[in-house]
Amino acid sequence: MTSANGVIVANDTFADGERLSLALPDSATWLKAQSSTAVTVAPGSARFTWNTTSADMIAGYFSLAGSPVTLGVGDALTLSTTFAFTGLNPAGIAAPVPQLRFGVLDSKGSRPADNGATANAAYVGDTGYGLFTPFSTIGGGTAFTLNRRTTITSNNIFNTGADFTTIASGGAPPASSPTTPTTS
């Protein structure tokens, strides 16, 4: 992520081989919500392995609690990530539904602990935006919806799309491959 004047705020490639220490710009804090999710971090990569049929949420923090990154009028925020899925059940993801959700949210300085659950009081009041995209082996539907979080009383940010109001959408998504890396 870069600041308004082009300065890199965070660029975590996991070169340090860990995910819990905030040491900007080279290391962000990456928390998972479910204690059942196993994590393996090695220099250059992090692997989150779901050991349940429940959803999980991975949160990355790129500023200290209480020290927000502020954007002015005309400023831009650029985020990118590269990820791959392995071991997916193609029959279970045939119909396109908005299963993959990304967000940029203002935590208001509150942070849940690692393994803090997907429903956590720390998320109440968090404002921001979400990009929802379907994950399907057959394609079809809308490639993405850009959404603003308008119901901020919920303690589970991504449990339901109803907490968000769609402000834009478009495109036709390609069929997803369970083994091809994706950059967003």
| Residue 114 near residue 83 (C-beta atoms within 8 A) | no
**Residue 181 preceded by cis peptide, ω within 30:** no
Average pLDDT over residues 1-23: 82
Give the three-state DSSP class for 43. Answer: coil
On average, the pLDDT of the chain sits at: 81
pLDDT at residue 84 tops 90: no
The phi-psi region of residue 66 (left if phi > 0; otherwise alpha if psi is between -120 and 50; otherwise beta) is left
pLDDT at residue 15 tops 90: yes
Residue percentage of the chain with pLDDT more than 70: 79
pLDDT at residue 2 tops 70: no
pLDDT at residue 14 tops 90: yes
Cβ neighbourhood burial of 43 (10 Å; 0-12, 13-18, 19+): exposed
pLDDT of the residue at 96:
52
pLDDT of the residue at 137:
60
Q: Which of 11-15, 32-36, 65-69 has the lowest mean pLDDT?
A: 65-69
Q: What is the pLDDT of residues 39-49, one digit of tens each?
A: 999 999 999 88
| Residue partners of 24: CB distance under 8 A and separation at least 6 | 9, 10, 62, 63
The phi-psi region of residue 74 (left if phi > 0; otherwise alpha if psi is between -120 and 50; otherwise beta) is left
Flag whether the pTM goes above 0.75: yes
Calpha distance 115→135 (Å, rounded): 25
C-alpha radius of gyration, the chain, whole number: 17
Average pLDDT over residues 54-61: 84
What Cα–Cα distance (Å) separates residue 104 from each residue in 76, 128, 147, 177? 13, 6, 11, 25
Q: What is the pLDDT of residues 106-119, one digit of tens each?
A: 988 888 889 888 88
Q: Would you state the structure tokens that stand for residue 183, as one six-digit string?
A: 């950059």
- Domain parsing of the chain, residue ranges: 74-183
> Best-predicted range by mean pLDDT among 71-75, 121-125, 172-176?
121-125
Calpha distance 144→162 (Å, rounded): 16
pLDDT of the residue at 93:
56
Average pLDDT over residues 30-58: 87
